């Protein structure tokens, strides 16, 4: 019995290799370099006076650069130099403490573990909701508007209530992370569980396939490409949920408390907050790449081939 063949064209899964690596990542690398160059160029053109100390023949010579223009937003408080941000990573986060980069990595690992639990809970809940709604049109019409409305409530309002209600420590943060993770998975699964040609369902029913067989041999295989789109969105959303959930929880092991502390002392050390922001962004990118890697491993034997689908039809 044929289980599933996709009816429409879709992008094939990425392959690993030097050429594929360059084609896939070079635009991102070039874009990041352009942002960094544009950042420093803006400071050179309209930032504050820059003093550079250089050593020539054993003597220190100070060079002063006065920008020809004056941009109010390009001061050192709003836009610290990139080398100041990088240098802040090597300096202690507090007096006689470990380097900031060590603190950020340790906090990032805690946030990642909590977000991973929330991601697993959110994806499981989202897939379960999608399966139930797929088999019930009445529930679909009744609950989908509420599912959409749940995401319009600011997470900063939900987080304190969840922390106070559960009083479960880090697990409360995981629940908040799951709250942001379940929605993209639910919407993607609702589309994917119906992402097959109607005649495929008729064929399986003609063979007397049960609902369980239809689910595991037709609906779930058809939904995999859609599901992983939701998984990749949920992976980054889980990081946001974990960081926001740490703010009212009082837990100091994660990045949330560190972001809050550096924000309070931003005027005295803006480079620390920017360094923390870069680590948070890197953590989000890593979770996205892990979800993408899982997609490649799970779907490496799954390729959409419209021409073969026509032949089977």
Considering the domain boundaries, does residue 12 fall inside one? no
Considering the domain boundaries, does residue 7 fall inside one? no
Considering the domain boundaries, does residue 11 fall inside one? no
The domain that holds 25 is classified in CATH as 1.10.3720.10
- Per the listing, tokens 């560190």 go with 258
Considering the domain boundaries, does residue 136 fall inside one? yes
In the chain, which stretches have pLDDT less than 70?
Answer: 1-18, 20-21, 53-58, 301-313
Residue 107: predicted pLDDT? 93
Considering the domain boundaries, does residue 177 fall inside one? yes
Considering the domain boundaries, does residue 40 fall inside one? yes
Residue 117: predicted pLDDT? 96
Domain that holds residue 54: 18-312
Considering the domain boundaries, does residue 209 fall inside one? yes
Q: What is the pLDDT of residues 268-300, one digit of tens each?
A: 889 999 999 999 999 999 999 999 889 888 887
Q: What is the pLDDT of residues 63-87, one digit of tens each?
A: 788 888 889 888 888 899 999 999 9
Q: How many domains does the chain have?
A: 1
| DSSP string computed for 226-283 | HHHHHHHHHHHHHHHHHHHHHHHH---SSHHHHHHHHHHTTTT-HHHHHHHHHHHHHH
- Buried residues in 129-165 as b, exposed as e (16+ CB within 10 A): bbbebbeeeeeeeeeeeebeeeeeeebeebbeebbee
Coil/strand/helix, residue 195: coil
């Amino acid at each position: 019995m044929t289980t599933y063949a996709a009816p429409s064209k879709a992008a094939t899964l990425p392959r690993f290799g030097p050429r594929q690596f360059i084609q896939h990542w070079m635009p991102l690398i070039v874009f990041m370099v352009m942002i960094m160059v544009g950042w420093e160029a803006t400071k050179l053109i309209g930032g504050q006076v820059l003093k550079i100390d250089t050593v020539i023949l054993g003597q220190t010579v100070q060079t002063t650069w006065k920008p020809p223009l004056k941009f109010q937003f390009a001061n050192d408080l709003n836009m610290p130099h990139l080398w100041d941000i990088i240098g802040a990573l090597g300096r202690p986060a507090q007096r006689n403490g470990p380097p900031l980069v060590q603190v950020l990595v340790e906090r990032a690992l805690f946030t990642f573990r909590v977000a991973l639990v929330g991601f697993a809970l959110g994806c499981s809940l989202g897939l379960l909701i999608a399966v139930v709604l797929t088999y019930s049109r009445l529930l679909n019409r009744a609950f989908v508007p509420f599912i959409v409305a749940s995401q319009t409530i600011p997470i900063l309002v939900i987080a304190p209530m969840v922390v106070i209600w559960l009083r479960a420590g880090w697990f409360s943060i995981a629940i908040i992370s799951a709250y942001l993770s379940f929605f993209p998975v639910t919407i993607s699964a609702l589309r994917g569980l119906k992402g097959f040609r109607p005649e495929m369902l008729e064929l399986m029913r003609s063979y007397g396939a049960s609902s369980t067989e239809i689910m595991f041999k037709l609906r779930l295989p058809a939904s995999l490409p859609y599901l992983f789109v939701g998984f990749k969105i949920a992976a980054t959303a889980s990081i946001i949920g974990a960081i926001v959930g740490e703010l009212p929880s009082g837990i100091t092991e994660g990045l949330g408390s560190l972001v809050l502390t550096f924000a309070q002392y931003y005027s005295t050390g803006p480079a620390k907050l920017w360094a923390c922001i870069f680590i948070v962004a890197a953590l989000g990118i890593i979770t996205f790449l892990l979800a993408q890697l899982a997609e490649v491993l799970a779907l490496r034997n799954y390729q959409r081939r419209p021409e073969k689908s026509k032949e089977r039809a």
